[in-house]
Amino acid sequence: TYYIKNAIIGIGENMSSIYNLTYEELLNYLLDLGYKKFTADQIFDWLYKKRVSSFDEMTNLKKELITKLKEDFTIGLLELVKKEEDTGVKKYLFNLSDNNKIECVLMFHDYGNSLCISTELGCNMGCAFCESGRLKKVRNLLPSEMVSQILTVESTESLRITHIVLMGIGEPFDNYDNVIKFIDIINDSKGISLGSRHITISTCGIVPKIKEFSNYKQVNLAISLHAPNNKIRNELMPINKAYNIEKLISAIKEYIDKTNRRVTFEYILLRDVNDSVSCAIELANLLKGMNCYVNLIPYNETTHIEFKKSTKSQITKFYDTLKKCGINVTIRKEFGSKVDAACGQLRSKHEEAK
Ligand code: SAH
Each residue of 175-230: pLDDT tens digit?
999 999 999 999 999 999 999 999 999 999 999 999 999 999 889 999 999 999 99
pLDDT above 90 as % of the chain: 82
pLDDT at 140: 93
CA 239 distance to own-chain centroid = 18
Exactly one of 116, 127, 204, 343 is catalytic; name it.
343
With 80 as the cut, is the pLDDT of residue 70 above it?
yes
Task: Select from 203, 188, 91, 198 the least CA-distant residue to 149.
Answer: 91
Our answer on whether the CB atom of 348 is closer than 6 Å to any ligand 1 atom is: no
The one catalytic residue in 25, 103, 145, 171 is: 103
Residues 142-157 have a mean pLDDT of 96
In angstroms, the Cα distances linking 249 to 57, 211, 252, 289, 331 are: 51, 12, 5, 12, 22
Angle CA 194–201–91, to nearest 5: 75
* Gap from CA of 173 to ligand 1 centroid (Å): 14
* pLDDT range class, residue 335, cuts 50, 70, 90: low
Predicted local distance difference test score (pLDDT) of residue 9: 39
What is the pLDDT, as a whole number, of residue 304?
81
pLDDT band for position 3 (50/70/90)?
very low
> Nearest-5° angle of CA 97, CA 15, CA 354?
20
Give this prediction's pTM.
0.92
Residue 103 falls in the annotated catalytic set: yes
Between the two ends of the chain, the Cα-to-Cα distance in Å is 34
Q: Where residue 334 falls among pLDDT bands split at 50, 70, 90?
A: confident
Q: Residues 69, 74, 76, CA angle at the centre, nearest 5°?
A: 125
Tell me, in angstroms, the distance from the centre of ligand 1 to residue 225's CA: 10
Separation of CA 130 and ligand 1 centre (Å)? 7
- Answer whether 22 contacts ligand 1 (Cβ < 6 A): no
Length of the chain: 354
Give the burial class of 34: count Cβ atoms within 10 A of its Cβ; 0-12 exposed, 13-18 middle, 19 or more buried: exposed
State the burial class of residue 348 (Cβ atoms within 10 Å of its Cβ: 0-12, 13-18, 19+). Answer: buried
204 Cβ inside 6 Å of ligand 1: yes
152 ligand 1 Cβ < 6 A: no
Confidence of residue 332 (pLDDT cuts 50, 70, 90): confident
The tens digit of pLDDT for each residue in 282-331 reads 999 999 999 999 999 999 988 888 999 999 999 999 999 999 999 999 99
Please provide the average confidence, as pLDDT, over all residues in the chain.
91
Residue 198: what pLDDT?
97
How many angstroms separate the CA atoms of 270 and 110, rounded? 28
pLDDT band at 341 (very low <50, low <70, confident <90, very high): low
**3-class secondary structure, 248:** helix
C-alpha 297/C-alpha 265 separation (Å) is 10
Q: Mean pLDDT check: name the lowest of 43-47, 98-102, 242-246, 268-272.
A: 98-102
pLDDT of residue 2: 37
> Sorting pLDDT into bands at 50, 70 and 90, what band is 13?
low
